[in-house]
Chains A and B, each alone.
Chain A
Amino acid sequence: MAELFAREAERVADARAVAEILLPLLHESLPSEVARAGLIRPSRPVLSDAVTLRRPAAAAPGIADFIDQMIEQETATPAAAGP
């Protein structure tokens, strides 16, 4: 049974690999209605490392949130007495 499962898993993996190669070609050749129906999912563009680095992991909080953070810092550790 284990041998059978292993054989089938290998067959599925091979089929998946073929599908990933064929899908973009199918998307180009099939009528647009089929693509719009969601039957074909176009491949995702691969981001270059440079673009990945430039895009921040999370957007900055709002300015009011920055001010909240500033007030929390001031409350927690007041500014030194000197100038």
Chain B
Amino acid sequence: MTTGTLEKPSASPTASVPSQPPATAERASAAKGKIILVGFDLGTNKSCLLAGPVGSTDITVSKVVPSVIGYVKDGIVDGIIAGNRSVLFGDDALHSALHVRLVAPLAQGIVAEPAAARDFMQHIGSLADPTGQAEIRAVVGVPANAGETAREDIRRAAQGIFDRILLIPEPFLAALGFRDDARIAQPNYIDPVVNSLFIDIGGGTSDLCLVQGCFPTRNDQISIAFAGDAIDELMQAELDRTYPNNGLSRQKVREIKEAHGYVGPSRKPLDVKVIMGGKAHTLELGDVIGRACNTLIDKIYPALTTLIERAGSDSVVTLMQNIVVTGGGSLLKGIDTLLQKKLTDDGYETPKVRLAGQDYKRYVAIGALKAARAARENQWQVLL
């Protein structure tokens, strides 16, 4: 599959571009109706879609969709599945888990099931443009330092669904999304795009990125194939060892993690009620949860200090004040204080680690939509 870029951009960066789309976008829109801009966080477990018409700040579509497809099993009686559909997506698929074959199109942040990925993209396209008549231009988040194969797989999945595409690393998009554009001019506002370190802990990968006023190089980014899913796997393995035949599904284990996950010292006892074999049981899971979640810290802390040491000496003091944890991993209780304490104990100067907050699911997509609105005509890749 080939893509085309309309023309090579100019070598030197220019001043910021006005938000109004250039005239060529309007001529293109006349050929295929309107143009819809999409900011898309294609996550291993959850994807976030934001969409809006070009030339407007309106967001007409805002959805978080579990990244899962349910192919209805043979022999399911009519009327069991709403609309007698043969394929379900996201929450619909999960709610009909008994009657479908669940397929996750992504693993560790990259396409693992190409056919399913294409079906999923089709669904996303229909959410962004129910009419099917608009030209869709999508900025899609990819893991930091994603290889060319991973990028090409996403382009293939989006071919014929998105008309134009830009693939941008997720932690950088998170910084763009986290940035409060209304406060940039305020003298005391710390612009996260100017000097910060973002830690985006998702389902498949944990991505760290230095963002220091320019697009991060490969050296400014580290991607670790250990994140939410890996924690679930560790928890399930230890549950199976401690409570054999527990029958708990991976989805149930994930729910336990999302409700009770923590890092740092043991929070034993941590009693969790589960249904096993139809009966309620209370399991003490303090150490099971703590050990699994703390493994994440063992993986990301060295990457964090590596990036800090790569930052310039003139910028590192301010950088230490702007470490942000986002993604689903930001929900792990104590992750901000633990990382900050570890840095302090290791002698780093006044580190400050903060959480992205309740909008953590949307920051990558918000940053992607901002990028879609700002992208110049010649920057888009045309999916042929």
A residues with CB within 8 A of B? 51, 53-56, 58-73, 75, 77-83
Is A56 touching B215 in the complex (CB atoms < 8 A)? no
Tell me the minimal C-beta distance from B198 to chain A in angstroms: 14
| Partner among A58, A63, A71, A82 whose Cβ is within 8 Å of the Cβ of B9 | A71
Give B219-234 interface residues, CB cut-off 8 Å to A.
none
| Partner among A63, A66, A79 whose Cβ is within 8 Å of the Cβ of B146 | A79
In the complex formed, the residue of B with least CB distance to A66 is: B215
In the complex formed, the residue of A with least CB distance to B166 is: A67
Tell me the minimal C-beta distance from B280 to chain A in angstroms: 43
Closest 10 A-B residue pairs measured CB to CB? Answer: A62-B16, A63-B374, A69-B215, A65-B13, A64-B17, A79-B148, A56-B194, A82-B147, A60-B193, A68-B9
What CA separation (Å) do A54 and B166 show in the bound complex? 32
Residues on B with beta carbons closer than 8 Å to the beta carbon of A58: 213
Is B16 touching A61 in the complex (CB atoms < 8 A)? yes
CB-CB under 8 A for A83 and B146, given A61-B214, A63-B371: yes
Interface centre among A66, A73, A75 (most CB of B within 10 A): A66
Tell me the minimal C-beta distance from A49 to chain B in angstroms: 10
Is B148 touching A81 in the complex (CB atoms < 8 A)? yes
Pairs A–B under 8 Å by Cβ, sample size 9: A54-B318, A56-B195, A56-B318, A59-B191, A59-B194, A65-B14, A65-B15, A67-B215, A82-B147
Is A73 touching B151 in the complex (CB atoms < 8 A)? no
In the complex formed, the residue of A with least CB distance to B108 is: A83
For residue B269, CB closer than 8 A to chain A, the reply is no
What CA separation (Å) do A4 and B62 show in the bound complex? 79
Is B148 touching A70 in the complex (CB atoms < 8 A)? no
| Partner among A60, A66, A72 whose Cβ is within 8 Å of the Cβ of B191 | A60
What CA separation (Å) do A75 and B218 show in the bound complex? 13
CB-CB under 8 A for A70 and B168, given A60-B193, A65-B13, A78-B148: yes
What CA separation (Å) do A55 and B191 show in the bound complex? 9
Interface contacts (Cβ under 8 Å), in number, total 102
What CA separation (Å) do A83 and B108 show in the bound complex? 10
B residues with CB within 8 A of A? 5, 8-11, 13-17, 110, 145-151, 166, 168, 172, 176, 184, 187-188, 190-191, 193-195, 213-215, 217-218, 317-318, 321, 370-371, 374-376, 379
| Partner among B188, B193, B195, B374 whose Cβ is within 8 Å of the Cβ of A64 | B374
Residues on A with beta carbons closer than 8 Å to the beta carbon of B166: 67
Tell me the minimal C-beta distance from B92 to chain A in angstroms: 29
What CA separation (Å) do A81 and B147 show in the bound complex? 6
Tell me the minimal C-beta distance from B15 to chain A in angstroms: 7
In the complex formed, the residue of A with least CB distance to B172 is: A66
What CA separation (Å) do A71 and B217 show in the bound complex? 11
What CA separation (Å) do A53 and B17 show in the bound complex? 28
Residues on B with beta carbons closer than 8 Å to the beta carbon of A77: 218
| Partner among B5, B8, B17, B168 whose Cβ is within 8 Å of the Cβ of A62 | B17
Tell me the minimal C-beta distance from B264 to chain A in angstroms: 29
Interface centre among A62, A63, A65, A73 (most CB of B within 10 A): A63
Is A65 touching B187 in the complex (CB atoms < 8 A)? no
Residues on B with beta carbons closer than 8 Å to the beta carbon of A54: 188, 190, 318, 321
In the complex formed, the residue of B with least CB distance to A65 is: B13
In the complex formed, the residue of B with least CB distance to A75 is: B8
In the complex formed, the residue of B with least CB distance to A58 is: B213
Is B194 touching A60 in the complex (CB atoms < 8 A)? yes
Interface centre among B10, B16, B215, B374 (most CB of A within 10 A): B215
Tell me the minimal C-beta distance from B28 to chain A in angstroms: 18
What CA separation (Å) do A79 and B217 show in the bound complex? 11
Is A61 touching B147 in the complex (CB atoms < 8 A)? no
Is A73 touching B217 in the complex (CB atoms < 8 A)? yes
